[in-house]
Structure 1
Amino acid sequence: MTPFIHPWGQLELQRWPRRRNETLQAWDNADLYLLNTLAERGLSGSEATKTANTLVLNDQQGALALALQQSASPGDASVESSGDSFMALAGAQANGEDNGLTTATPFLWPFDPPGQTPDQIVMRVPKSVALLEWQLHWLSQHIPQGVPVWLAGMDKHLPRQLVPLLQRYLGNGHAEYGWKKARLFSAQAPGQVLAETGYPSMVEAKDWQLTVHAGVFAQQQLDIGARFFLEHLPQALPAGARVADLGCGNGVIGLAALQASPGIEMTFCDESWLALESARDNASRYCPDAQCRFHHGDGLAGLENDFDCILLNPPFHDGHVVGDHVARRLFNQAARALAPGGELRVIGNRHLDYHKVLSRRFGSVAVLGSNAKFVVWRCQQPLT
């Protein structure tokens, strides 16, 4: 593990969830660029360090918030974090414990207003342009005029329209110099709303108009994988069957299962707060009498019930990282959470070849449908 050496000390950081033989680093040069800039040019680089309140957005593993905790005198300066990801919060908390930073950083979910008036904003540019727009709009609503906003990201991940978006929502902003394949942007909060975002958006699916909050997958239309999966969902599940829509996104898969089997108990699960809020909105609109619950967390972790059926359209992106490690973790969770005789119904891109992975975890694996791009499997556990 490479220590994260920043202007006020160093941190031992690991990605979350913890994996053996992890090859991915828990921080990058965009994190370090932001912190170096604050040390040299921001409020944290002056005597105001001891009293500066900082709001951090989209901190992935705690690198920014934990370093800023180390920069300040206890009880004087304060740090708040805000984001959409349960996994990012869990990673920051675990890294805080590992580094002896026992004071928890207050965390704001997307609709929460700041608990304090920040003196400076530090922001990792999110992967989703929609989420970026929504967060800039949120800053214009809640942050006083003139508060400096510092943003950074790795060059290969930055949207081309970032400066125009800063100017649209904040009324100002420009690109700074690049450094080690990272780039910095600076702006100031306008103290008033200058433009609306158009989020949440509405997406047509079946006979529904689904709410999709900013940053949730398939922002403008139902993705082709979900459309194919809808053709291969269970029909007429028995009343009282316990079903999970794992990685629910806007909730369309769970809603379709509820429509086919109104008596089931449905649990919508996602690590994205805005995804779960989308599913909650849609379920309340189209299935107001259904037995639904909403689990914000690491997949099925923390749920005690054995499920009769789990429906899963797994992501193959974890932020900017592409791979099947998220799907594998969800497959493992599903194998443990199914009741005897229960089934996982899962869709995957054909080229990912999930069949081999699934066959090692389930008693039987059968193909229910396929086309040139996708395969749907039914994976069952033995009755005993």
Structure 2
Amino acid sequence: MHALIHPWGTLTLYRWPRQRNEALQAWDNADRYLLNTLSERASVGGETLVVNDNHGALALAASAAGGVVASGDSWLAMDNIQRNAKANQIPSVPYCWPGEDLPGAADQVLMRVPKSLALLEAQLSWLSMQLAEGVPVWLSGMDKHLPRQLVPLLETYLGNGQAEYGWKKARLFSAVAPGKVLAEAPYPSHVEGPMGPLVVHAGVFSQQQLDIGARFFLDHLPEGLANDARVADLGCGNGVIGLAVLQQQPGASVTFCDESWQALKSARENVAGYFAEASVAFHHGDGLQGLEGRFDCILLNPPFHEGHAVGDHVARRLFRQASQHLAKGGELRVIGNQHLGYHKLLRRLFANVQVVGSNRKFVVLSCREPK
């Protein structure tokens, strides 16, 4: 728990899902810089569009000054905002997913600069379509995370933009909406998969080519799955692993799971393009949470970062979920970098952990018999 003092009051903010001995707080000085800017420069009582808020610092504080709509790609970020709203006895915040139309006009925009340049480009192009001419757009991020080409990107998509003063290792950027589309972002892109070109929407991992981890995983997928096997592609990204399962075993039922809206959009389009008649489902949420039933096989290439935060906390959470969602006799198959030592974590959850493939960089592990 951390208390954020902002221009209109105080918020108690958590990072969800909660972790024991959480060391990271749910806001930083870039959030504070944006809130101070809103207080000093925005029209009183205006409608604020908040983009890429991770835990509610921006959306919930701004809701004390006027109407708010939040937007972003992450289900976990959306869930954090709503959970923290409830914890602070604030009404839930309307949420807009990438590409959707805003429910109403925005008078100003507060935007955290996302880690993905592709997502940033797509969002700036979207803002040019959604905002009336002259609407101010304020962006911020911590200095160590900001891309060098931010001002040129603002000029490309909004027609203007400038870097303002730094403050406590954060920096503010500002622009005004042109009221028309000046440039369309070059996304989705396409990568070559085992069945042909795959759609990859902005912000999805491995934007320009199939990553080497996925390629190695494709060579070490389970063989001999039952014709009616129930399979989960956990953290599916563009869906290439689940698609490979459908290519090998067309009778399988595959559930594509990801917390990224853009990832699931990519997977949906790729499934529709290659296996339109297959038995599939799509789950937008925290891993396997909220899904009923159990799986005969769960396939996972876990991320070792969440935004700019690096660590194994996401992998740990997904490993636990997988151990709870396996059917009797089922298998979790995981790929990871050798140095991450996932076998140590997995042996706490599974009685049988075996190496089924490895090279100098990656290891593929087969995990059975949840403890």
Task: Note whether the superposition's TM-score is higher than 0.5.
Answer: yes
The Cα of 1:141 is off from its aligned counterpart by 1.0
Correspondence 1:249 to 2:237? yes
1:250–1:276 CA contact under 8 A, matched in 2: yes
- 1:175-186 correspondence runs (5 A): 175-186=163-174
Q: Distance in 1 between matches of 2:151 and 2:16?
A: 31
Correspondence 1:191 to 2:185? no
Q: Distance in 2 between matches of 1:289 and 1:282?
A: 12
User: What's the secondary structure of 1:19's corresponding residue?
Assistant: coil
| Residue identity opposite 1:223 in structure 2 | D
The Cα of 1:115 is off from its aligned counterpart by 0.4
| Residue identity opposite 1:81 in structure 2 | A
Identical positions, percent = 66
- Please report the TM-score for the alignment, with normalisation by the length of structure 2: 0.99
Q: Which residue matches 2:255?
A: 267
Q: Distance in 2 between matches of 1:355 and 1:130?
A: 33
Correspondence 1:86 to 2:75? yes
Q: Distance in 1 between matches of 2:280 and 2:195?
A: 20
Q: Which residue matches 1:298?
A: 286
Correspondence 1:5 to 2:5? yes
- In the alignment, which of 100, 106, 109 is matched to residue 94 of structure 2? 106
Q: Distance in 2 between matches of 1:8 and 1:203?
A: 47
The Cα of 1:305 is off from its aligned counterpart by 1.3
Q: Distance in 2 between matches of 1:219 and 1:159?
A: 17
Q: Distance in 2 between matches of 1:302 and 1:160?
A: 40
| Residue identity opposite 2:16 in structure 1 | W
Q: Which residue matches 2:300?
A: 312
Correspondence 1:340 to 2:328? yes
State the Cα deviation string for residues 163-200 of structure 1 (Å, max 9, x = none).
00000000000000000000000000011111121100
The Cα of 1:339 is off from its aligned counterpart by 0.7
Q: Distance in 1 between matches of 2:308 and 2:163?
A: 22
1:235–1:257 CA contact under 8 A, matched in 2: no
- 1:1-384 correspondence runs (5 A): 1-43=1-43, 49-50=44-45, 52-71=46-65, 77-101=66-90, 103-381=91-369
The Cα of 1:111 is off from its aligned counterpart by 1.7
State the Cα deviation string for residues 199-248 of structure 1 (Å, max 9, x = none).
00010112310000000000000000000000000123112111000000
The Cα of 1:42 is off from its aligned counterpart by 2.1
Q: Distance in 1 between matches of 2:174 and 2:300?
A: 40
- Please report the TM-score for the alignment, with normalisation by the length of structure 1: 0.95
Q: Distance in 2 between matches of 1:377 and 1:105?
A: 41
User: What's the secondary structure of 1:156's corresponding residue?
Assistant: helix
Q: Distance in 2 between matches of 1:272 and 1:184?
A: 26
Q: Distance in 1 between matches of 2:345 and 2:106?
A: 47
Please list every run of 5 or more consecutive structure 2 residues that lacks an aligned counterpart in the other structure.
none
Q: Report the aligned-residue RMSD.
A: 1.0
User: What's the secondary structure of 1:202's corresponding residue?
Assistant: strand
Q: Distance in 1 between matches of 2:222 and 2:352?
A: 17
1:236–1:260 CA contact under 8 A, matched in 2: no
Q: Distance in 2 between matches of 1:59 and 1:175?
A: 20
- Runs of 4+ in structure 1 off by over 6 angstroms are none
| Residue identity opposite 1:179 in structure 2 | W
The Cα of 1:2 is off from its aligned counterpart by 3.3
